[in-house]
Structure 1
Amino acid sequence: MERILRFFIERHLLVNLMAGALVVLGYLSATSLDREFLPSIDAPQIFITANLPGASARDMETKITIPIEEALEGVEGIDHFTTVISDNTSFTTVNLYDDFDSARIEAAEVDLRAAVDGITDFPPEMEDEPTFLRIDPGTAVVIEVLLTGPEPALSEAAEDLEDRLERLDAVSDVEPVGLQDPEVRILVDPILAREHGVTLAEVIAAVQRRNVSSTGGVLESAEERRQVVMWSRFEDPADVGETILRFRPGAGALRIGDIARIERARADTGLIVHGDGRRGVVLVVDKRVGVDIIDTVEQVQAELARTPLPETVEARAVNDESIMVENRLDLMFTNGLIGVLLVTGVLFLFVKPGPALWILVGIPIVFMATLTLVPWFGMTLNLLTLTGFIVVLGMVVDDAVVVSERIVVKRAQGLPPAEAALAGAREMLAPVTAAAATTVLAFLPLTVLGGLPGKIMWVIPTIVVIVMLFSLFESFFVLPAHLSTLSGRTDLAKRRFMEVLEGLYRRALTRILRHRVATVAVALAAFVAVMGVVRPLVPFVLFPQTDADRLMVKIETPPGTALERTEAVAVDLTKQILEVTADDIEVVTSRVGHQNTTGLEKGFGEADNEALLIVQFKKFGRTHTNTQWIELLPKALTVPGDVGVVYQSEFFGPPTDLPVTVHVLSNEDEVRRGVAFEIARYLEGTPGVVEVEIDERPGTPQVELNLNYEKLALRGLDPETVGQTLAAAFYGFEASEHRDLRHTTDFRVQFDPAARGDLDALLETPVQARDGTLVRLRDVVDPIEVPSVSRIYHRDGYRAATVRASFLDSSDLTALTFAARMEEELFPRLADIPGLFVFNGGEALETQKVTARMAVAALLAVVGIAVVIWLMLGSLLEALFVMLVIPLAIAGVIVVFFLHGEPLSMFAMLGSIGLAGIVVNGSIVMVDGIHRRLRDRDGLSPDEATGEIIEAVTERLRPIMVTTLTTLGGVIPSAYGIGGYDAIVSVMSLAVGWGLALSTLVTLFLVPALYSLAGDMRRLVGGPASRIAVFRSGFATAAGRPGRR
């Protein structure tokens, strides 16, 4: 190793070229990185959607959902699956094991497709096969464009803008919400149809036979070839009314227009979109894989600006994710710059300008070298990538400070520059490498934490590990060469105030060592007090919430309410919200027809009595936070008495559910609903629990037509024919289509709306029997009105209900503690009900998984750190001295969070585990100094040994203080949001910064006390009093350390 060190020290040009190349490569890499808010993750979820037009939710469950779920049971790798069943649609979410990588997810998708493809008992009227969707981690919604105005100008403008945006290079997809496909409705008058003896099936067949085309062949002659084509398609969709149904003797042709009204319209998807109370369309824009989010938004904004719009239509961008990305990146850069300035100030305060300057030069070299590898690890420039750089900002100079300090000492002892650089680097190789290794080992297990949180968080520890490795490289192969160029002695002397500080420390340490037993006892008592008293007072929250800029308002009108009335309620509440929140509001968009906060891009409704308002607040300069508005809005809004309203803030973090999420599984409807209501009552009676809701709700009252099978057989009918007639009468049947270059227009045959609201008219519907006679529905069915649900929920093949709730910010409740409380107080009362399964999910379950994984990562980190220290020091006892700093540092973190009123969180835990590898660095340097001082010096009296210990640790005071203060300076701006606040970075910076600061006190005073106390114990048992174990590891020998001073 000495030869390698000397090689670089003697070749300044090579070192400078190498450093310059790293800086240039890093810059080129940084400028090509994609920017985004959070890392894209490959979520282990696959979505299966199946449609059966005209089918009720119960029909969908029996005919579609159950066969699909039975097929899923044989597929490996499924953690659980859920299905939401509504009229016409079955939507299954398959959750794979959350540690699956992309390859295993793709393999599972293949197995799922094969399983579903093998289903042979789907109903014959199901025209389309189930579709599979797996979200591409490289694509993301980056911006939405809201258009408002009257029809038909609104739809025409939306279609034009959709086409324009889809042609942009950076855009992968544009999903229109609220823009329905054009269709021609053939609205049959049932009275006229009965008078003429026409059934819906006959109308459908007539349209299908008329709207055809065919190529017959080719006419060939000696001179030419001509193709023969039969063309009978509608040139104008409105021409469908002229289609002949039959000829009547003496009355001429009976046309479709004689019994039906032809209407151009848009498909009825059960969904209405609004913007600030006006009918609208939202275009949801996804970026392409590997394209920068900010560049994508700029392209969209530019295209929007140059697109001509009708005077009656307005368009504007909403939910612009690039604003948040730019803000967070600017925030991180600002805090990072402030941190660099603080680190610079600390260095120039404690170190003379020459060495300090070369130490600072190492920061861009190390960071740029790291940036060269960032693309190779599949990382982008995002919040967590920059968090990793900020966390390690102060640490990046730690190795360089220790190495440079030792080189300075060697210069002060009179060695020539090159020899001083070599001797200092060689002497510090073992302790500095060990110190860097402990930091790497602390963060390394966090890179493979697993689960969805681990798939997001891994970038932080990965950045730290890479930076620390490059820092080690720079400290031994670049910095010594630079320091060897310094000439003269002026820059190598200690500053006067440092000499005064060392004198004060020496006197304080002398007193501490005189009372070392009491010092150790006080430290242990403080640790016990913190863990026993303070720790229970600090709650744990999985993800700290930065104040979101979107608020979700869920509206529910009574079951059976028409969509138009729900729309009116939504519009009224929208206008009230715009007025109340005038100083903070940006826009209010709505989805009338569903409340799915995770499916805002859905193009169809689920329940006519549901609506969702998306309240988009200003991103900056607000007067109230989301939490404050949640408390203010219920008091300020006037809501009809029969309308339910729930307010929910947008959630930040990996996909999870609300803090309180209780799943109730039972195929017995009365049991399941009764237990769900009992849980809801329990939650409503608990102070601090708010926004209690049950997903399984009463639906539109249902008229059940019970078939009389004897009459069916007698009349020559079957249930399938009757069912198809009913579906066509109400939902409509897509008989054919008309295509042009831009649109596909469906021909939908159904009853006139006036007839669809009358049960008597329905029962008069004629159905054609096998012998051609017409039979009225009332002759073969018995109508019964029964209750229904708006949607049916399944979980792992069982019917399910989920009870959800949130906590007031002012309460001391957390997901984990409250889940434990329910398992103790509530769940035992439900345990004896047959066929019932009740369990916690959502944030509580995710918290349990995360804490378990964190515990394993912490154990691996501590074991790895202990082994490195033991190998380096060659003494288990000395390794224990160093390791004792870790639990005391964690206790310090708990005190800091308690004093700041912050809950512990996943990112605080990540910072604390990483802190374990950082805090031991100062102890390693200190113990190494003591070790070197006492090596091979047997026979010292207790007082002499104490004096040597004091001198050894005093000599290490400056590097320990500099490394602590530089680390603290690097993270303090982010901890307190000096350049802008972010909850993730803040809690992590608090843990690292103040945890290190408090543990430094332990290093400076407790470690020497423990060392002295160990000597006392050895003398008591008769062992050598003054000899401390020497380096015996091959690691230390390989460093080339001389045998004696």
Structure 2
Amino acid sequence: MEALLRFFIERHLLVNVIAAGLVVLGYLSATSMPREFIPTVDTPIFWLTAMLPGASAQDVEAKVTIPIEEALEEVEGIDEFTTIIADNTSFTTIELYDDYNRAQTEAAETDLRAALEAITDFPNEMEDEPVLKQFNPARMTVLEIALEGPEETLAQTARAVEERLERLPLIASVHPVGLPDPEVRVLVDPVRAREHGVTLTDVIAAVRNRNVSSTGGMLESPDERRQVVMWSRFDEPEEVGEAILRFDPQGGALRIADIARIESGREDTGMIAHTNGQRGVTLLVQKRETADIVEAVGQVRAEVESMDIPEGVRLTLTNDESVIVYNRLELMATNGLIGLVLVTAVLFTFVRPGPAVWIIIGIPIVFLASLILFPTFGMTMNMMALTGLVIVLGMVVDDAVVVSERIVVKHAQGLSPPEAALVGAREMLAPVTAAALTTVLAFAPLAAIGGLPGNIVWQIPMVVILVLIFSLIESFLVLPAHMSTLKAGARLQSRQFVRVLEAHYQRALAWVLAHRAVTLVAAFAAFAVIMGLIRPLVPFTLFPQDDADRLFIKVTTPHGTALERTEAITADLERQLLQIAASDVETVTARIGHQNTNALDKAFGDADNEALIITQFKRFGRSHTNVEWIELIPARLQVPDGVDLVYQSEYFGPPTDQPVTVHVLSNDDAIRRGVAFEIESHLRSIPGVVEVEVDERPGTPQLQLNLNYEKLARLGLSAQDVGTTLAAAFYGIEASEHRDLDDTTELRVQFDPGARLDLEALLETPVRAASGQLARLRDVVEPMQLPAVTRIHHRDGFRSATIRASFTQGSGLTALSFAQRLEQELFPRFADLPDLYVFNGGEAEATQETTAGIAVAAALAVVGIGIVIWLMLGSLLEALFIMLVIPFAVAGVFLIFFLHGLPMSMFAMMGAVGLAGVVVNASIVMVDSIHRRVRAGDGGGDRKSHIIEAVTERLRPIMVTTLTTLGGVLPTAYGIGGYDPIVSIISLAVGWGLAMSTLVTLFVVPVLYSLAGDLRRVFT
């Protein structure tokens, strides 16, 4: 190694060229790197959507969901699957095992598609195959465009904007919400149809048989070839009324227009979109997976500004994710620059200008060199990567400070600058490498935390590791070459305040070494108080919700409420919200017809009496947080009697569920519902628990028509004939379609709305028997009214109900502790019920899995650090004493979070684990220095004096490394340049944990080292 050090020290030009090359390549990498909010992750989650138009939820369950779930049970690698079943739709979420890599996920996807293709018993009326797609965060919505205005002008404008945006190179797709496809409805008058002996199936057949085209082939002659085409398609969709049903020689042609009226409109999807209380269309814009989010949104904004929006149409851009990314990148840069200024100030305070300049020059070299490898590891410029850069900002100079200090000392002892650089670097090689390795070992296991949270945060430790490795390389191959050019007299500053500080420290150290028992008892007593009394007072929240900026309000009107009435109530609530939260609100949008917060792009509604209001608050400069608004809005909002509201803040962090999420599984409806409602009642009785809801609720009463199979057989009818007639009468059947260059217009046949009002009219619906004679529905069915549910939920093949709730601010309740409380106090009540499964999920489950992963990472880190220190010092006892610094650092984290009134979180725990590798660094170098002094026997003094002299000699570099780390992270911890809930929490843990452990390093470690020497002498 000495030869390598000498090689670079003697070749200044080569070193400068390498350094300049790293800077240039790093700059090019940084400027070409896509910017994102969170990293792109390969999520082993799939969504499966199946449609059965016109079918009730129970019908969809029996005909579609159960065959799908039976097929899924045969596919390997599925951890769990859940299905939401509503009228017309079945939506299944399939989660593979968390530890599946890309290859395993792709193999599982192939198996899933094969299993779906093997299903042979889907109903004939199911028009489309199930659609399977993988959940991809990189393709999520980055911008919403809300339009409002006159209906037809609005539709044309929305389509024009959609088409223009989809042509942009960085945009993957634009999904319209609230813009149903155009439709021409053939509204049959049942009375006139019966008078003419026409059934709905006759009308459907007439439309299909008229709207056809066919290519016959080529007509060839000696002179030319001509293609033979039969064309019978409607030129305009409204021409469907001219289609002939039959020809009567006495009465002439009977056309569809004789028994029906033709109406142009748009498909009835059971869902209405609102913007600021008005009907409108929302365009959800998704960028390409590899596109820079800021550039992609910039393209969209420029394109929209260049368009001529018709008069009367208002266009609003909202939910702009690029604003978050841009502002947070700017925030991180500002805090980073403040930290860099503080680091520079510390260096110039303790180090002469020459060495300080070279140390500071090394910072951009190290950071930019690290950026070169970002693409290699699949990393982009996102919040997690920036968090890692901020955390390591103060650490990056630690190695350089220690190495430069030793070089200056050797220079002051009379060695020439090149020799001083060589000897100083050589002497520090082992302790500095060991110190850097301990930090790497502390952060490395964090990159292997499982689950979706781990897949998102792994870049934080990876960035820290990359920077530390390049810092080590720069400190031994670049810095010594630069330091070898220093002029004579370069040395550490010895200002008056430093000499005074060293003198005071020397006296204090002499006292603690003389009173070892008192020192150790005081230290461990303080540790016991913090961990025993204060730690239990610090709550744990997986992801604090201070930064959420969207508030969901689930609106439920009384059962049987028409969609239009639900819309009117929702619109009034929207307008009130705009006034109540005027200072903070950006836009208020709504989806009338469903309450699914995870599917804002849904095109179809679930229930006429449900709505979802989405309040988008300003990203920055708000007067209240989401949590505060959840307490303020209900007190001011005027809600009609019988209307229920549930408030839910958008979850900030990887997708989980609510803090309280209890799953109840049973195929026995009575048992499942009884247990679910008992849990709901129990939760409502607990102070601090709010927004309690059960996802299984009574729905619109169902009229079940039971078939008389003897009469069916006598008339030559089938159940399929009756089912088709019913579907056509109410939901309508798409008989055909009309296509042009702009749109595809469905041709739907159904009863006129006036004929769909009562049971008697329904029972008079004609069906054609095998003999050709007409029969009525009342001849073959017996009606029965039954209760129904709005939605049916399945979990792993069982019918399920899920109870969700959240906590009030300041309640002191946390997801994990509350889940444990339910398991002890409530769940045992249901132990004797047959075929029933009750368990916690949501945030509590995610917290348990994540904390378990972090605990394993912490254990691996501590063991790895201990082994490195043991090998480096050659003493297990000394290694154990140095390792005692780690629990004191963790205690410091709990103390500082308690004093700041903050909960522990996943990011705080990550900071604490990474801190384990940082806090031992000073102790390693200190003990190595003591070893050198004791072995040299300087001054012939006793062991105690050697310890005092060696430790005092390390005071200055310890102060420099500690203060530079604090200077690097504290501006971010306290949000001097802007607060970020992720980075600030980690920075707070690292900064103050290091500060407390430094006191232990300066006073407790020397005592323990002294004690270790005495113990060795006793036992040897």
Q: TM-score, normalised by structure 1?
A: 0.96
The answer for the alignment partner of 2:981 in structure 1 is: 983
TM-superposed CA distance for 1:491, in Å, is: 4.9
Q: Decide whether the 8 Å contact of 1:702 with 1:786 is kept in 2.
A: yes
Confirm whether residue 994 of structure 1 aligns to residue 1006 of structure 2.
no
Q: Decide whether the 8 Å contact of 1:546 with 1:982 is kept in 2.
A: no
The answer for the alignment partner of 2:145 in structure 1 is: 145
Per the alignment, in what secondary structure is the counterpart of residue 865 of structure 1?
Answer: helix
Confirm whether residue 753 of structure 1 aligns to residue 748 of structure 2.
no
Per the alignment, in what secondary structure is the counterpart of residue 84 of structure 2?
Answer: strand
Per the alignment, in what secondary structure is the counterpart of residue 794 of structure 1?
Answer: strand
Q: Decide whether the 8 Å contact of 1:150 with 1:279 is kept in 2.
A: no
TM-superposed CA distance for 1:714, in Å, is: 2.2
Q: 310-319 or 822-831, which moves further after superposition?
A: 310-319
The answer for the alignment partner of 1:428 in structure 2 is: 428
Name the CA distance, whole Å, in 2 between partners of 1:909 and 1:54. 51
Question: Counterparts in 2 of 1:575-974, with a 5 A limit?
Answer: 575-935=575-935, 937=937, 944-974=942-972
Q: Decide whether the 8 Å contact of 1:411 with 1:492 is kept in 2.
A: no
Q: Decide whether the 8 Å contact of 2:247 with 2:253 is kept in 1.
A: yes
TM-superposed CA distance for 1:221, in Å, is: 2.7
Pair 614,986 (structure 1): closer, same or farther in 2 beyond 3 Å: same
Q: TM-score, normalised by structure 2?
A: 0.99
Amino acid at match of 2:382: N
Q: 215-224 or 25-34, which moves further after superposition?
A: 215-224
TM-superposed CA distance for 1:16, in Å, is: 0.5
Name the CA distance, whole Å, in 2 between partners of 1:474 and 1:222. 84
Q: Decide whether the 8 Å contact of 1:99 with 1:452 is kept in 2.
A: no
Q: 75-84 or 122-131, which moves further after superposition?
A: 122-131
What are the superposed Cα offsets for residues 801-821 of structure 1, whole Å, 9 maximum, x if unpaired?
A: 000000011110000000000
Q: Decide whether the 8 Å contact of 1:517 with 1:1013 is kept in 2.
A: no
Per the alignment, in what secondary structure is the counterpart of residue 602 of structure 1?
Answer: coil
Q: Decide whether the 8 Å contact of 2:923 with 2:1005 is kept in 1.
A: yes
Amino acid at match of 2:976: I
What are the superposed Cα offsets for residues 186-226 of structure 1, whole Å, 9 maximum, x if unpaired?
A: 00011111111100000000111111111223333333222
The answer for the alignment partner of 1:203 in structure 2 is: 203
Per the alignment, in what secondary structure is the counterpart of residue 734 of structure 1?
Answer: strand
Which blocks of at least 5 consecutive residues in structure 1 are unaligned?
Answer: 1024-1045
Q: Decide whether the 8 Å contact of 1:276 with 1:588 is kept in 2.
A: yes
Q: 999-1008 or 885-894, which moves further after superposition?
A: 885-894
Q: Decide whether the 8 Å contact of 1:689 with 1:806 is kept in 2.
A: yes
Name the CA distance, whole Å, in 2 between partners of 1:158 and 1:671. 48
Name the CA distance, whole Å, in 2 between partners of 1:646 and 1:799. 24
The answer for the alignment partner of 1:5 in structure 2 is: 5
Name the CA distance, whole Å, in 2 between partners of 1:622 and 1:437. 43
Question: Counterparts in 2 of 1:121-140, with a 5 A limit?
Answer: 121-140=121-140
Confirm whether residue 1016 of structure 1 aligns to residue 1014 of structure 2.
yes
What are the superposed Cα offsets for residues 243-289 of structure 1, whole Å, 9 maximum, x if unpaired?
A: 11012242111110000010111011111011111110011011012
What are the superposed Cα offsets for residues 611-636 of structure 1, whole Å, 9 maximum, x if unpaired?
A: 01111122222222212211111111
Per the alignment, in what secondary structure is the counterpart of residue 612 of structure 2?
Answer: strand
Confirm whether residue 85 of structure 1 aligns to residue 85 of structure 2.
yes
TM-superposed CA distance for 1:655, in Å, is: 1.1
Amino acid at match of 1:319: N
Q: Decide whether the 8 Å contact of 1:36 with 1:381 is kept in 2.
A: yes
Name the CA distance, whole Å, in 2 between partners of 1:344 and 1:678. 62
TM-superposed CA distance for 1:1019, in Å, is: 4.2
Q: Decide whether the 8 Å contact of 1:888 with 1:999 is kept in 2.
A: yes
Amino acid at match of 2:934: L
Name the CA distance, whole Å, in 2 between partners of 1:421 and 1:399. 14
TM-superposed CA distance for 1:179, in Å, is: 0.7
Amino acid at match of 1:824: Q
What are the superposed Cα offsets for residues 698-727 of structure 1, whole Å, 9 maximum, x if unpaired?
A: 111111111122222222222111111101
Q: Decide whether the 8 Å contact of 2:412 with 2:491 is kept in 1.
A: no
Q: Decide whether the 8 Å contact of 2:878 with 2:1012 is kept in 1.
A: no
Name the CA distance, whole Å, in 2 between partners of 1:492 and 1:197. 107
TM-superposed CA distance for 1:937, in Å, is: 4.9
Amino acid at match of 1:948: H
Amino acid at match of 2:623: T
Name the CA distance, whole Å, in 2 between partners of 1:492 and 1:343. 16
Name the CA distance, whole Å, in 1 between partners of 2:938 and 2:929. 17
The answer for the alignment partner of 2:358 in structure 1 is: 358
Name the CA distance, whole Å, in 1 between partners of 2:322 and 2:559. 40
TM-superposed CA distance for 1:136, in Å, is: 3.4
The answer for the alignment partner of 2:497 in structure 1 is: 497
Name the CA distance, whole Å, in 2 between partners of 1:580 and 1:544. 25
Name the CA distance, whole Å, in 2 between partners of 1:45 and 1:926. 50
Name the CA distance, whole Å, in 2 between partners of 1:950 and 1:237. 96
Question: Counterparts in 2 of 1:178-327, with a 5 A limit?
Answer: 178-327=178-327
The answer for the alignment partner of 2:533 in structure 1 is: 533
Q: 384-393 or 538-547, which moves further after superposition?
A: 538-547
Identity rate, percent:
67
Question: Counterparts in 2 of 1:159-170, with a 5 A limit?
Answer: 159-170=159-170
Which blocks of at least 5 consecutive residues in structure 2 are unaligned?
Answer: none
Name the CA distance, whole Å, in 2 between partners of 1:55 and 1:890. 58
TM-superposed CA distance for 1:490, in Å, is: 5.2
What are the superposed Cα offsets for residues 17-73 of structure 1, whole Å, 9 maximum, x if unpaired?
A: 100000000000000011111112222111111111111110111111111101111
Name the CA distance, whole Å, in 1 between partners of 2:661 and 2:346. 49
TM-superposed CA distance for 1:494, in Å, is: 2.6
What are the superposed Cα offsets for residues 590-609 of structure 1, whole Å, 9 maximum, x if unpaired?
A: 10010111111111111111
Per the alignment, in what secondary structure is the counterpart of residue 152 of structure 1?
Answer: helix
The answer for the alignment partner of 2:374 in structure 1 is: 374
Pair 629,137 (structure 1): closer, same or farther in 2 beyond 3 Å: closer
Per the alignment, in what secondary structure is the counterpart of residue 611 of structure 1?
Answer: strand
TM-superposed CA distance for 1:936, in Å, is: 6.4
Name the CA distance, whole Å, in 1 between partners of 2:954 and 2:579. 64
Name the CA distance, whole Å, in 2 between partners of 1:956 and 1:490. 18
Name the CA distance, whole Å, in 2 between partners of 1:629 and 1:147. 26
Name the CA distance, whole Å, in 2 between partners of 1:1018 and 1:744. 88
Name the CA distance, whole Å, in 2 between partners of 1:490 and 1:962. 17
Name the CA distance, whole Å, in 2 between partners of 1:247 and 1:1011. 109
Name the CA distance, whole Å, in 1 between partners of 2:299 and 2:150. 27
Q: Decide whether the 8 Å contact of 1:353 with 1:491 is kept in 2.
A: no
Root-mean-square deviation (Å): 1.3
TM-superposed CA distance for 1:352, in Å, is: 1.0
Name the CA distance, whole Å, in 1 between partners of 2:408 and 2:566. 77
Per the alignment, in what secondary structure is the counterpart of residue 630 of structure 2?
Answer: helix
Name the CA distance, whole Å, in 1 between partners of 2:266 and 2:684. 43
Q: Decide whether the 8 Å contact of 2:546 with 2:626 is kept in 1.
A: no
The answer for the alignment partner of 2:513 in structure 1 is: 513
Q: Decide whether the 8 Å contact of 1:512 with 1:1009 is kept in 2.
A: yes
Name the CA distance, whole Å, in 2 between partners of 1:274 and 1:347. 58
Amino acid at match of 2:592: V
The answer for the alignment partner of 2:558 in structure 1 is: 558
TM-superposed CA distance for 1:906, in Å, is: 0.5
Name the CA distance, whole Å, in 2 between partners of 1:268 and 1:918. 62
Per the alignment, in what secondary structure is the counterpart of residue 478 of structure 1?
Answer: helix
TM-superposed CA distance for 1:860, in Å, is: 0.6
Name the CA distance, whole Å, in 2 between partners of 1:206 and 1:585. 53
Confirm whether residue 464 of structure 1 aligns to residue 464 of structure 2.
yes
The answer for the alignment partner of 1:1028 in structure 2 is: none
Q: Decide whether the 8 Å contact of 1:144 with 1:320 is kept in 2.
A: yes
The answer for the alignment partner of 1:51 in structure 2 is: 51
